[in-house]
Structure 1
Amino acid sequence: MTMAWDAARVVEVARRLRNAETGAWSEAALRGVAQGLGWEWRDTADGPRLITDAEPNTLARWAPRLRPVGRFEKDYVHGGEEYVGLSVPVAVTEGGAAAKVAAFRDAAAALTNEFGTAPIMGAYGEPGPFYDFGPSWGTPFLRWRQRENSLELRAGEYGPELLLQPTDPVENWFWRQGHGENYALGGFFGSNNDPANAGLGSPGRWRTTDWEVFASTLGDFLRALPAETHALGIELDLGIHALVPGTGGPVVFHIACGERLEIVFDTEDLEVDIADPTALGWIPHTVQPAVLEHWIESPYHSGVFDIGAVDGRKLARMMVDTLRGLGVASPHDLSLSDHAQRVRGYYVEYYGLTLRENP
């Protein structure tokens, strides 16, 4: 069962959040924001609670939440902020990933109709801002960036949430993850040419030479990918080149993902062969044809996976074992097809893949 605000209420609260006078994100300023929204500010031993008129049996899941500056936030605030976020659930669902994605899409449509295309979109993966772990069903987000504050539609544990946050701290955290260490960032991050993105920076990708590290982050990237892409209304079209010995680095895999995920393995331009790709988990096209549209013809594919049904680690292991069987020396010998980073007007960095575009 899903309980959700209608589009008019989503837009009304979003508009009021965008126009809120948050000052320097002090407690005094946020008490005023809560009062203006008709919420009660209640001090408790665990910090302030914001009380709304939600039904008592869903209060905990519907309640707005303030994020105070604490251990993981303090290094990224420089304006005296006492809080770095105000989250407001707009849907609560007892269903699985598909139900949460549907609720996210409904809220996204209402906000896009009101505010236009979000200047920033993506999926946080792990870790999220200030080292959060996101909900298990996926971590999609749309962000309407402004200089002082940014409004975001993001994934919550029970469905989509509105998040008002000061712009500088979250971008400061993001930028400083460009240190190059393993697992620094996951997911993907896309920005467009909207004037709102003036001054926006993106950290560098991290890379690894370790196949086990690469398999782990690839599995995490694939696990919730259909939920994230469908929630955002995008389709990813990712070709992965590999420096197989004796070749010029052909496309070995093509990942297609919108509402469903499918990967094909192309052997056409390879000088070496995997003795039995089916032993690694690949399905021959002659036994079961690929379902999604791919821009390479391939004799093998992964099967097609719906939202919530992806075994990311199994798929990643299949791909890595294939690459190692072909003699690819290192994940540094992989790259993305040259159009992969352009998605519906956004330029996308795939931090969870760790790969750059093919030079």
Structure 2
Amino acid sequence: MQTLQVGVLGGSGFTGLELLRRLRRHPRVRVVFATARQPDAVGTRQFPGPWRTPEEALSDSVDWVFSCLPHGESARWVAAWADRGARVIDLSGDFRFPTPELYTAWYGMPHPCPERLAEAVLVLPEWNAEAARDRRIIANPGCYPTAVWLAVLPVVRAGLIEARPIVVDAKSGVTGAGRTPTERTHFVGVQENFTVYSAGRRHRHVGEIEHYLEAWTGTPSHILFTAGLLPVRRGLMVTAYAALRSGATARTVWSCLAEAYAGRPFVRVRPLGEVPALHDVVGTNRCDVGVVEADETGWVVLVAALDNLLKGASGQAIQTMNLLMGWDETLGLPVEGGDG
């Protein structure tokens, strides 16, 4: 039985630690290193390591590397490990866009390694894993785009809803904002509070959602997107509102989703009219999707919930690795559970 040697860059943050916990339980993986800039970082006390700086880790030999470094920093380390022959899954935003112009438009900075973008492909495992079969650099989607895409991609492709606009109300737990505290994410700013941020079209995930909706379905889209910060540790929920096309109903939308995800272990389409709750999916690598009837308005409501640290980040990266290795995609990942 093949055992993969893997390393994790940026292992001391919320996403990195979740990834390390899951990789440590994976039956066909051995964690060779995890990196942190500060050896006494809080996260390093939660995983035995071995811990290295990113520079020290270059002396190790691994098959796969997962980068949980911030955007802007991740790209050069991803490129360095790809040059050493490793396959790399980047959980930052550095390789999600195919052109440096798109990256700059949405991230407000020049791309660190524009010459490497052509080598990368973004993978949503339920949609296009085969596209990465021969790639060394694989971009992991953002948490909000994952939930939106899983809810709307099949029905946009089927021509059941209008994609201009799709209105998205999105809410996430505090771990989605990263480990470094800010005034907005400090306990006293979050507890017994709810805040909206990046309303309209200001959130960088809008560009990601729109670009791949068109690339994967051939249908241009406009996303009106508002994000909110929930006073919970983890979990993410999006509610998408879209106009039905002629002849479509909520039931045909539901049937389309049920057929698209039949047999896929990490997407569960709830019965028509039933919507998921965060506690249904937190602690799992699953996205639950619900469809709500509002046919008399000419619109349909789609609700998707997932764990932002698992299906929205670390779990999805492992799922992609499993598929590209030809393994069962559920290997080392929780399908059932909840409230994790």
TM bucket by the smaller chain? under 0.3
Higher helix share: 2
TM-score (norm: length of structure 2): 0.27
State TM-score, norm by structure 1. 0.26
